[in-house]
Structure 1
Amino acid sequence: MGTWDIGHFDNDTAADFGGDLDDTAQGEREALLREVLLRAARAGEFLDDSEGAQAVAAAALVAAQCPGGAAVTTAYGPKEALPPLAAELRALAVEALDRVVAEESELAELWDETGEAAAWRQGIRSLRDVLEPVPPTADVPLFEA
């Protein structure tokens, strides 16, 4: 895998995926994101690095449309705007990210062999936090008696 940084699109596979999205008809882009996320989330025993890198890129695009999500502004992401994405893609993106950082993930193994694994995993954690925010604790009653 040609990787040059820890960003979600900073590898050859994710950059190619950004181009694939641009080459996909506007009405079919959400389906492509869903397909990539499903492939990672439902991977068998082992998730290969290409599927993992695409899933991270897809999750970043889903997270970009969530409250608190960071826009994907890298030159390696898609150039064309994505349509508003279905809310249920958030849960699927979380599943895919959990699979990407699991023990049987080639992408996680490759990052664990580098000195940047902690920073890469923090980037994944940040995406996950946007996609599935922790609900606030209820210190104050919701209704007054």
Structure 2
Amino acid sequence: MGTWDIGHFDNDTAADFSGTLDDAAESERPGILREALLRVVGTDDYLDSDEAAEAVAAAALVAAQCPGGEAVTTPYGPDEPVPALPADLRMLAVEALDRTLRKPSELMELWDETDAGPTWRASVAGLREVLAGVGSSRS
């Protein structure tokens, strides 16, 4: 995987995933995000880095629509708008991020081999907090 920075879209796989979203009809984009998240959630065996990178990118897009979420403004993210997403994608994204940070996970292992590993983990944890509504005034 070609990675040039720590952002959720700063790798070849996530940038390609953005292209897949851009090429799809707007009505198909929520399903593409769901499929990326489900592939990771449904993996108990070794988690491939490409699948995890897509799930992290998908989670970032879901989190962008949550209270406290940050808009995806990187040039490597989707150019086309992501429609309003179903609320159930939030917890699915949390589960996918949790799985990405649980062994055996190639993406986690690759980041842990770098000095930026703790920063990457913190950025994923930040996404998780937004998705889970940590610190929000939800009832």
TM-score by length of 2: 0.96
Tell me if structure 1 keeps the 8 A contact 2:67–2:136.
Answer: no
What pairs up with 1:1-145 in 2 under 5 angstroms? 1-134=1-134
Structure 1 residues 57, 136: closer, same or farther in 2, change over 3 A?
A: closer
The offset of 1:103, in angstroms, is: 1.5
The offset of 1:136, in angstroms, is: 6.9
Distance, in Å, in 1 between the alignment partners of 2:27 and 2:18 is: 16
Distance, in Å, in 2 between the alignment partners of 1:32 and 1:113 is: 30
Residue equivalent to 1:140: none
TM-score by length of 1: 0.92
How many aligned positions are there?
A: 137
Larger radius of gyration: 1
Runs of 4+ in 1 over 6 A off after TM superposition: none
**Which ranges in structure 1 are unaligned for 5 or more consecutive residues?**
138-145
**Which ranges in structure 2 are unaligned for 5 or more consecutive residues?**
none
**Secondary structure in structure 1 of the residue aligned to 2:96:** helix
The offset of 1:80, in angstroms, is: 0.4
Distance, in Å, in 1 between the alignment partners of 2:110 and 2:136 is: 35
Distance, in Å, in 1 between the alignment partners of 2:99 and 2:75 is: 26
Q: CA RMSD in A?
A: 1.2
Q: Percent identity?
A: 63
